[in-house]
Structure formats: C-alpha cells, structure tokens
Amino acid sequence: MSRPIVATVDTSALRHNLAVARQAAPHSRVWSVVKANAYGHGIDRVWQSFAATDGFALLNLEEAILLRERGWKKPILLLEGFFHADELAILDQYRLTTSVHSNWQIQALAKAKLSAPLDIYLKVNSGMNRLGFAPEQVQQAWNKLRGLENVGEMTLMAHFAEAETSEGIEQPLRRIEQAAEGLDCLRSLANSAATLWHPHTHHDWVRPGIILYGASPSGKWQDIASSGLQPVMSLNSEIIAIQNLKTGDGVGYGSRYRAQGEQRIGVVACGYADGYPRHAPTGTPVWVDGVRTHTVGAISMDMITVDLTPCLQAGIGSQVELWGSNIKIDEVAESAGTVGYELMCALATRVPVKIS
C-alpha cells in the first residue's frame, strides 16, 4: 500500500482487556461480544486473542460458522437468535446457543427436527422495548420452552438501556426480578457498563463488548481512565502536504475555517471514506509528530487538514495518529457527536489493517 494510512490492532491489548473484564466480574463466565465483525476489528483477526473467553456472542450466522470452522469448540451465543425458522438446522449443525425473544421462535423450536437439544437464552424486555418478553409473559414462555425436547440449558437474559448510571439499572433490575420470580434460573444481564460498574448485575454470565476493545461504554474516556483498559485500534497516517496561510485564507470545502493570522496547516491522508467521522468539527484532537493538535475545516473524503502551530518540527512525512494510545477514540467520537463504537465499526475496508 502506498497511501500511508493504516489501522493497527493490538492483540496484547485485546488479551489484557479480556483479563480486566474478568477481574471486574470474577465469579461470572464471560461472553466476549464480537458482533459487527468484532466491532470493526475483524473477527478473524481477533478471535484467537480472546481464546481465554468462555464463549463468543454475536449475531450473524456467517460469523458463528467462521468461528466453528476455525476450530472454536466452546459456546457461541446468537444475541438476536434466529431470524427465520429454517436457520434452526444450521444452529443444530454448528451447536449454537440462541436467544429467544418472541413467541414465533418458541413455536419454531417446538416443530424443528434437531439432532440434539439447543441451549437457549430467554430474553426479558427490561424496559428498553427492543427485544424480549414482557416480565409478565416470561413465566409462560419459560414453561413452554422447558417442556420442549429441543431445548437444553436455559438462561434468563436481559439488556440495559442505561447501564452507565446506578439509576439506569434499578428499574430494569426490578422488571427482571419480577420476570424471574420463582424460577431457578441462570442469568446473563451485564453489558460492558454493568460489568465494570454494577457488580450486583453480574450473575452467571457477563457480556462485555466495547471494553474488550479499550473504549468507554459511556462514550467518555475519563470514565475508564482508571480501569486499566488499553486502546486496541490505532488509526495512523502521515502529513502529505503543507500550506502556509495568511489572515483570512480559507481551508477545505465550504471554507469552514479561515486563518486568523499566518498559520501552517498540514494535510493528512485520511478522510471520511476511511471511516473518519465527517461531522468532526474544527478542534477535534489529532496527534502530529508527537504533539497534540487539532483539525481545522471540513473533513474531506480523503483528506483532513490540521493546525501545525504547536508542531514546530512537523513536515511532509510526519507521523499522524487519528486515534490510538495518545488520542482516545472516545475523544474523537465525542467531538464528532458520536461514540467510539460507531467509529470502530465504521473503519473502511480500504484501510489496510496491521496486527501487532
């Protein structure tokens, strides 16, 4: 590749972050969430770094099959379950654990011809109102499933809409406890935020995603600053041109930035077609030649312009970190009005990825 942009995935940080998640929930088993191609890191690149996990959670059958074909023998959980009844034959063949969130799935499980029972995760709607049975419907769904030959081990599962705060946890927990009343069941409730911050939600299996990739579930990197989590993905490039501006000179599309005086600007080989957020405003942090500076003007498809005022030594070929260990992906995301999750997932396929 001649264009200097490259993303790096730090596999030792992946291993380290899994250990951090485990320490946070020492009495629980861990589903490592690798949906969305491992949050944009590439499931095939990262899964071996998670070899110490108890299971993988994801949504695409293709991703589940890939893990089985690579030799992963431990559990795989389909977080949204099967989408059509005919997929049950594949779940059977590859021994996949499925979430069950709707009555039609119970009927499909009742009718399917399977070689052996499948483990299921019965999903409770904790108040988020996406997937799951209302608390008052759970006992009936549980009993129906318990009576099916095709159903093996059963776990009660729920998800939190606002696990960043204690208040966000309480009401959903009450709904979950209402649903579970009288059931002697395994439970899996905790996403990353609950894994880090709400030990009473841990129960039998936790389901961390974003923290495995070293970013913050709240969107604020300060919230994980003392957790020991390490950034996994770095996005790096180089300065490919320099412009010397005079007062009033514009930069980029729409001239959204104008120089207030004489100013040196660097042009970086990275744009929104690489996955850098187009909405990042002037002032979004960037690391150039070992110095923290910021973007100026609009993000183009293939280029970003940055202020070189604090980077006295920088010139063509200087190293640029868009995000990584110096500039947290959460900082860039926050500046652009999004979350680290979205930036990771949006890394474009045209960006070459290096493993370190």
Ligand X SMILES: *Cc1c(COP(=O)(O)O)cnc(C)c1O
**Which positions lie near ligand X, rule CB under 6 A?**
33, 35, 79, 159, 191-192, 207-210, 217
> Shortest gap between Cβ of 303 and ligand X (angstroms)?
31
202 contacts 187 by C-beta, under 8 angstroms: no
Catalytic residue among 94, 123, 144, 253: 253
Q: At which residue do the structure tokens 């979004």 appear?
A: 284
Rounded CA gap, 295 and 251, in Å? 11
Q: Which is nearer to ligand X, 34 or 296 (CB)?
A: 34
Rounded distance between C-alpha atoms, residue 10 and residue 229, angstroms = 12
**Residue (21 or 180) nearer to ligand X, CB:** 21
Helix (H, G, I), strand (E, B) or coil at 68: helix
CB of 207 vs ligand X, minimal distance in Å: 4
Q: Is residue 55 classed exposed, middle or buried when 0-12, 13-18 and 19+ CB atoms within 10 A define those classes?
A: middle
Give a three-class secondary structure readout of 32-43.
EECHHHHHCCCH
Q: What is the DSSP string of 157-199?
A: E---S-TTSHHHHHHHHHHHHHHHTT---EEE---HHHHHH-G
Instruction: List the binding residues for substrate.
Output: 130, 301
Task: Give the nearer residue to ligand X in terms of CB position, either 79 or 265.
Answer: 79
Q: Is 121 noted as a catalytic residue in this protein?
A: no
Q: Which amino acid is at 273?
A: A
Interatomic CA distance for residues 202 and 263, integer angstroms: 53
Work out how close the CB of 353 gets to ligand X at its nearest, in angstroms, rounded to a whole number: 20
- The DSSP bridge partners found for residue 55 are 31
Within 10 A of 102 (CB to CB), how many other CB atoms are there?
Answer: 15
79 versus 304: smaller Cβ distance to ligand X:
79
**Chain centre to alpha carbon of residue 298:** 27
Residue among 22 and 294 whose Cβ is closer to ligand X = 22
**Joined tokens for residue 285:** 């942090």
Active site residue 253: yes
Nearer Cβ to ligand X (33/138): 33
Residue nearest to ligand X (CB): 209
Q: Are 45 and 38 spatial neighbours (Cβ–Cβ below 8 Å)?
A: yes
Shortest Å, Cβ 206 to ligand X = 9
Which amino acid makes up residue 210?
A: I
- Residue positions in the annotated binding site? 130, 301
b (16+ CB within 10 A) / e for 7-34: bbbbbebbbbbbebbbebbeebbbbbbb
Shortest Cβ distance from residue 31 to ligand X (Å)? 8
Strand positions, DSSP E, 79-175: 97-100, 118-123, 151-157
Least distance between ligand X and beta carbon 297 (Å): 33
Residue of 35, 121, 123, 341 marked active site: 35
Which residues are marked as active site? 35, 253
